[in-house]
Structure 1
Amino acid sequence: MADQLRGWRCIEPLLLFLLLETLWGAGAGQIRYSVLEELDKGSFVGNIAKDLGLEPRELAERGVRIVSRGRTQLFALNPQSGSLVTTGRIDREELCAHSAPCLVSFNILVENNMKMYGVEIEIIDINDNFPRFRDEEVKVKVNENAATGTRLVLPFARDADVSVNSLQSYQLSRNMHFSLDEKSGADGQKYPELVLERPLDREKVAVHDLFLTALDGGDPVLSSTMHIRVMVLDANDNAPLFTRSEYRVSVPENIPVGTRLLTLTATDPDEGTNGELTYSFCNEEDKISGTFKLDSNLGEISTLQSLDYEESRFYFMEVVAQDGGALLASAKVLITVQDVNDNAPEVILTSLASSISEDCPPGTIIALFSVHDGDSGENGEILCSIPRNLPFKLEKSVDNYYHLLTTKGLDREEISDYNITVSVIDRGNPPLSTESHISLTVADINDNPPIFPHTSYSTYILENNPRGISILSVTAHDPDSGNNAKVIYSLAEDTFQGMPLSSYVSINSNTGILYALGSFDYEQVKDLQLWVMASDSGDLPLRSNMSLSLFVLDQNDNAPEILYPSIPTDGSTGVELAPRSAEPGYL
């Protein structure tokens, strides 16, 4: 086998040249490659940078990475060359068994713009597996009076490869009594049978040694051989007969362990031990014998362990009924597993912006997530939704990926935080659902100026006030946050009686308290008209103002003064003359 595999290595460059071509699917963002199995680690798969329209250096700059769920990563990105390469040897048979084609799917995420690209890689089979029989030697019993044309069921070979590399035919060693016939089952498996061509005589030959060879269709052809010992028995002239050649049953995956699935029935008209039948599996795999139990006397098949539709959807098996004289009959059994809704949908968050500016435009992407349901059919169909009263919407992306994006402008002063519930529900009966919560903070911008409760104020102060006394406190409110809401107070520049207003009063820029810088005299200043301004501390400050009327109240701080008659300045007593003829009431 080593020589044959070396032969494959010699033609690998040619096959790679022929097979590693990149195909863009009909849908945008779908990339397809093909690669042989069993290539060395680091083998070239495709130029992913070129197919994404990027230079190799841009892969790291844009945060390009592989996103896959639940499977061991088989491929990796080479940031130097921009290529997609293998991370190790890939065994197609371990990965896909007999499924053809063998496809591996994952997604490429471009982080900086949250774009997803689907990638599908077909693993091409090479002929690295021999057809193999379960046993190297098998004994087959046949009655000496068996009629010409009697068929004897033989163990079949299995080949882990697919297509032409899988099992193609059987060959029987030359002999006088038997020929070989092949039948193809519904599963595509080839079943060999010995056909009796000439009557047997146990007294002449009791044992016939034959060799059955299984061949595949690879180049070169691989094969294996099984030794068949045909034991000729004395007459038992009736073979068992099943009521049907094939039995089919369909059961839900959640049936209890030990449930009887079906009963096979065979009859034999012989008497005694020649008519006593025993049932057994033929060529059963470990998976069959570990999952099902066959009652050897009754022919009943029941479960030994729970069934799982997601693990295996159907089981093929062969049951043999053998009488005491070694005659037997076989019947095929197909057990189909029906899906039940036993898997709740999953939400997997891939990328999230936890904070977003309130001035972001509609259509801004907030999060990227995927949904998955392990069931199939309607049980695996998922509906994804968010509450309708939010300024967000869901938009389907590649595969089962969704974008969460804004539908209109946000206002931090109205709502500063959102707790978005993503609900996923399948269409099973009854349906299963899951909720996932996304928290989003709205970042503030300076879109609100400080606002005074009133556009104008008036206040009073007694004259002769002490210097530095506080007159009143003004307050403006800014609904923004941080520096955008930090208010600074100031007075508009103006003059009064030729003096700047700042020489009469001042204002604390942080508290908004107005102070008198000197003592007011009502006889000189009866009122002041001021403009108080409030400005926030944003990068582009916003401001507002209000008018303030300051009235000075009079105090009794001046004694009466006689203006006339005036007091003489020479120190004499003032004299006022009145005529002798003055009458009462004379002024």
Structure 2
Amino acid sequence: MAALLKLPNRGRLVLLCLLLAALWEAGDGQMRYSVPEELEKGSFVGNIAKDLGLDPQDLTERGVRIVSRGRTQLFALNPRSGSLVTAGRIDREELCAQSARCLVNFNILLEDKLSIYSVEVEITDINDNAPRFGVEELELKISETTTPGFRIPLKSAHDADVGENTLQKYELNSNDHFSLDVRRGMDGNKYPELVLERSLDREEEAVHHLILVALDGGDPIRSGTSRIRVVVQDVNDNAPVFTQPEYRVSVPENMPVGTQILKVTATDADEGYNAQVAYFLEKNPEETSEIFELKSTSGEITITKSLDYEDAKFHEIDIEAQDGPGLLSRTKVIVTVLDVNDNAPEFYMTSATSSVPEDSPPGTIIALFNVHDRDSGQNAFITCSLPENLPFKLERSVDNYHRLVTTRVLDREQFSSYNITVTAKDGGNPSLSTDAHILLQVADINDNPPTFPHTSYSAYIPENNLRGASIFSMMAYDPDSDDNAHVTYNLAEDTLQGAPLSSYISINSDTGVLYALRSFDYEQFRELQLYVTARDSGNPPLSSNVSLSLFVLDQNDNAPEILYPALPTDGSTGVELAPRSAEPGYLVTKVVAVDRDSGQNAWLSYHLLKASEPGLFAVGLHTGEVRTSTGPAGQRCAQAEPGGGGAGPWAAPSLCHCHAHGSRG
């Protein structure tokens, strides 16, 4: 180590890293390293990439990062080399005080696998602190009657380092009356004592000046000094003695400030002024002296600052009892701080997703988080829970990590989002709890085809319609969202009377409105059967079909047509013969007519428009039958002949005209 410290700073740093960075121990997923304190920022600690079995370039791609809770980040990852390096100067004494081992624990997270690896780094001590005495000068008063061999406890030195680098020995300057003896206490510390070797003579030398040197075991050795002024007095040959060599007391951390926790007592076998005992807190660089107050006259110890179990679980108080002339003895008070449940669990969200596809399989990880409670024992025992009836569950991992995973396939059409509350509850009495909220959106997939409200539709259009007239409107509903719910419409390919159906009917692909491209003729066709397809815009798209029956309504656009008697083609009048002896009601002929319309539009009625012999014939209103209406036809006809003579059995010609009307004509 001496040779190492003679190197230049940079060379010493590199050599320290190479010598002290320990190989990792692959056990239960934990990596262990060792690094000395006080290294420069960016100093090598260990090869994380190698120990994880990765190439350095994989660290960034796989999202490898350090996760730790509630403390300053002491280490960092070098993405180029894959090494674990220091993030700044590390002071072991600031971090771990005088603990024998100084361990820093944190976790390495592989985000692509959500895997956690524990890392333990031991911070080893270097000799960067010299021993220090609480006082620079100590005055002792010793009776001249003190016999050789008398021992006087001296002020101890304190060294913040540990191991070989901490205080190892004391030395006293050479003199004729005193020697130095070092006693090892029950706590393992070394306590110097001044030993009288020769009787004192105040008249010969009233004051003795000594120098006490405290040395550590570092390389190079560091030291601290305290000047001792020995004043020779008479008689006072007894130092105070405590009733106990060590006091112990347990105090809950919520004990109010000002509460007396203990009273120490020391007695002195002397009397009068030499037996008057005063109590003092031994000065040291730690914070303990600021938390407690010692009454010098009574030895009562009270709390002057709130205790916190999470900051310090115990406190050591060094107390001195000094009599009037200045002889002293010391004792140690160990205050154990008892934990109370004054800290609620804390969440550290490592990774969380805000959206998940609705077809994600059960077991899909939604979030990874860590829960920690600064209390201890049962007060730090944490249970995590979720509200009932949610499609999620919690899976516990290492080091109080939890995964939030799905328990079944989600359905966006049922629930498009979840506001998940995770409750962490400790085991204290009363218990404390903390809630964490995770908002999860369920992303849509195209798992629903468009659906028509009815399985079939009917529509009606009057014939002779205008081209482009709106016929019918159809709409399909798709419960998906965005493009998956955007519906377009089209007609199935078909033909009608040899022509494509699309030449008769069209549909608006966005609105589902059907339009007539032609004017329909009821007498040409009366019904069209269509099939409409609704298709969404998903990938792949989904569709459904529905049938539409389109009925053409008749209009009275055709006049009746007389089929019988047929009109002569030469322009003459048709002749029907009736016997002269025909009685009233005799059927002369029947007019037959048809109408190409239908329904009421095809109902016909018949009327006589003109007759040469009014009242001789009549036509049936609905039958079209022409019958005689009065006397024998021959009589009327004979009378009509010139000269009144007969002309055989048939009546002379008589002219009548019939007309057929439609029901609305």
Q: In the alignment, residue 533 of structure 2 is paired with which amino acid? A: M
Amino acid paired to 1:260: Q
Q: How does 1:311-390 map to 2 (within 5 A)?
A: 311-390=311-390
Match of 2:522 in 1: 522
Structure 1 residues 24 and 239, CA, compared in 2 at 3 Å: closer, same or farther?
Answer: closer
Q: CA deviation at 1:284?
A: 4.0
TM-score relative to the length of structure 1: 0.92
1:274 matched residue in structure 2: 274
Q: Which amino acid aligns with 1:241?
A: V
Query: 1:344 is aligned with what amino acid?
Result: A
Alpha-carbon distance change, 106 to 250 in structure 1, aligned in 2, over 3 angstroms: same
- Cα separation, 2, equivalents of 1:429 and 1:74: 35
Q: State the alpha-carbon separation in 2 of the partners of residues 81 and 270 from structure 1.
A: 72
Aligned residue for 2:543? 543
Q: More deviation in 179-188 or 352-361? A: 179-188
Q: 1:457 to 1:325 in 2, by over 3 A?
A: same
Cα 1:8–1:271 shift into 2, 3 Å: farther
Q: TM-score, normalised by structure 2?
A: 0.82
Structure 1 position 521, deviation (Å)? 2.0
Instruction: Note if 1:84 corresponds to 2:88.
Output: no
Does residue 189 in structure 1 map to residue 189 in structure 2? Answer: yes
Cα displacement (A) at 1:530? 0.8
Task: Give the Cα separation in 2 of the matches to 1:286 and 1:19.
Answer: 29
Report the equivalent of 1:434.
434
Instruction: Supply the distance in 2 between the matched residues of 1:324 and 1:13 (Cα, whole angstroms).
Output: 57
CA contact (8 A) 2:487 2:534 kept: yes
1:9-408 matches, within 5 Å, as 16-28=17-29, 30-146=30-146, 150-175=150-175, 177-196=177-196, 199-268=199-268, 270-285=270-285, 287-408=287-408
Once residues 553 and 564 of structure 2 are traced to their aligned partners in structure 1, the CA distance between those partners, rounded to angstroms, is 29
AA aligned to 1:572 is S
Per the TM alignment, residue 11 of structure 1 is displaced from its structure 2 partner at its CA by 6.7
Higher relative contact order (CA 8 A, sep 6+): 1
Counterpart position of 1:513 = 513
In 2, the alpha carbon distance for the partners of 1:222 and 1:326 equals 30
* 1:492 Cα deviation after fit: 0.6
**Cα distance 1:391–1:553, how it changes in 2: closer, same or farther (>3 A)?**
same
- Which residue of the partner structure matches residue 481 of structure 1? 481
Q: CA shift at 1:319, angstroms?
A: 1.8
Judge which range, 47-56 or 235-244, deviates more. Answer: 235-244
Compared CA separation, residues 481 and 43, structure 1 to 2 (3 A): same
Q: Any idea what SS the aligned residue of 1:24 has?
A: coil
Does the 8 A contact of 2:106 with 2:118 survive in 1? yes
For 2:58 and 2:417, the matched residues in 1 are separated by: 35
Q: Which residue identity is paired with 1:507?
A: I
Q: Secondary structure in 2 aligned to 1:399? A: helix
| TM superposition shift of 1:179 | 4.3
CA contact (8 A) 1:60 1:79 kept: yes
Distance 1:573 1:48 in 2: 121
Match of 2:616 in 1: none
> What secondary structure, in the 3-state scheme, does the structure 1 residue paired with 2:158 have?
coil
2:606 matched residue in structure 1: none
Q: CA deviation at 1:59?
A: 2.0
8 Å contact from structure 1 (residues 423, 434) kept in 2:
yes
* Residues 262-311 of structure 1: CA deviation (Å, up to 9, x unaligned): 11222335443233222212234452332211111111111222112222
Measure the CA separation in 1 of the matches of 2:4 and 2:59.
Answer: 39
Extract unaligned runs of 5+ from structure 1. Answer: none
**Partner residue in 2 for 1:453:** 453
- Tell whether the 8 Å contact from 1:4 to 1:220 is kept in structure 2 after alignment: no
| Contact 1:5/1:128 (8 A) holds in 2 | no
Distance across 2 between alignment mates of 1:239 and 1:215:
27
C-alpha displacement of 1:362:
2.1
Distance in 2 (CA, whole Å) between partners of 1:80 and 1:239 is 66
Please give the root-mean-square deviation of Cα atoms over the aligned residues, in Å: 2.6
Task: Return 5+ residue gaps in structure 2 as ranges.
Answer: 588-665
3-state DSSP of counterpart to 2:383: strand
Q: Distance in 2 between matches of 1:204 and 1:336?
A: 51
Aligned to 2:636: none
User: What is the letter of the counterpart of residue 152 of structure 1?
Assistant: I
Distance 1:286 1:103, change over 3 A: closer
Q: Is the Cα–Cα contact under 8 Å of residues 251 and 337 in structure 2 kept in the other structure? A: yes
Query: What is the DSSP-based 3-state SS (H/G/I as helix, E as strand, rest coil) of the residue aligned with 1:403?
Result: strand
Higher gyration radius (CA): 2
Q: Give 1:544 shift.
A: 0.1
Q: Secondary structure at the match of 1:73?
A: coil
Range with greater deviation from structure 2 (59-68 or 329-338): 59-68
How far residue 540 of structure 1 moved from its aligned partner, in angstroms, is 1.2
How many Å apart are 1:33 and its aligned residue? 1.3
**How many residues align structurally?**
586
Change (3 A) 1:210 1:504: same
- Tell me the amino acid that sits aligned with residue 139 of structure 2: K
- The match for 1:443 is 443
| Aligned residues of 2:459 and 2:549 also touching (Cα < 8 A) | yes
